[in-house]
Amino acid sequence: MKPRIFIDGQEGTTGIQIYDRLGNRDDIELMLIDEGKRKDTAERAKLLNAADIAFLCLPDAAAKEAVTLIKNDNTRVIDASTAHRTDPNWVYGFPELSKAHRDRIATAKRVANPGCHASGIIAATYPLIIMGIMPKDYPLTCFSLTGYSGGGKTMINAYEQAKTDEMQSPRIYGLDLAHKHIPEIVYITGLTRTPVFCPVVDDYYAGMATTISMHNYMLNGKPSAKTLRERLAEYYVSERFINVTDELGSGTLESNWGVGTNDMELTVSGNDDLSIITARFDNLGKGASGAAVQNMELMLNI
């Protein structure tokens, strides 16, 4: 019997993208809810309990409610919301971080899919901490440039149907420095200082470039940018979806790289004294639905 898959919240941006990735596959059975019943709790509960894997593409409160509707031990859940990313009872769905992460995902009942900004920052930071290069109390500074699709249907509609003059240029937001992905970044990396993080949204649909900035003398061993690149390349050498570029960054890095894929590219730039690491990927791919489908495949061993 083919694994049965249900997307709760299929009409949202992430849900649509997951459906697009799964709709033509013949190795799974995609269960669809009747359009008129997509907010019917009883019908949703029926499908959630019939699924082998359920994707939750819902606001945080609705995702938590959806979990309570599951009354069996068989349905496994991949939650694309922020609701469970720092919950110790849920497995964090970033398999490239370590073999242990990958193994836990493969056997998990509950998987929290990473956030888009967090994916890039964690991909650059976590290995440095694990390898003993970055102290856990490092005062990290990071920023992220993203396309407007990350804001969901409301922002997509604003940019495509009701664009104002100020929306034609990059816009810095999260100015309270309390973006919802920060707790996830701290929890997964083990940082003991809250990083300064500020995202920027620009007038293009998809793609993301997250950058962390470092003073090399504050890192253990005072590595150069070249050494950081070499160590990161070693860390991710066997990974299919994460690639560390061969050379230090020069020229420019476009932020709409890799759109339509599940790939992430890390570029180290800098010199002996200063370094930045930039992760580029599709905010709807490796930053959301692509990562969710990758986790599904690990969980189903397909």
Residue of 265, 229, 255 lying closest to 96 (CA atoms): 265
Cβ–Cβ under 8 Å, residues 55 and 78: yes
Cβ–Cβ under 8 Å, residues 253 and 277: no
Q: Which H helix or E strand runs over 254? A: none
Task: Considering the candidates 57, 116, 142, 198, report the single residue annotated as catalytic.
Answer: 116
Verify whether residue 198 is a known catalytic residue.
Answer: no
268, β-bridge pairs: 277
Phi, psi of 152 (to 5 degrees): 75, -170
Residue that has been written with the tokens 């849900």 in this structure = 15
Cα separation of 219 and 217, whole Å? 5
Cα separation of 79 and 60, whole Å? 9
Positions annotated as catalytic residues are: 116
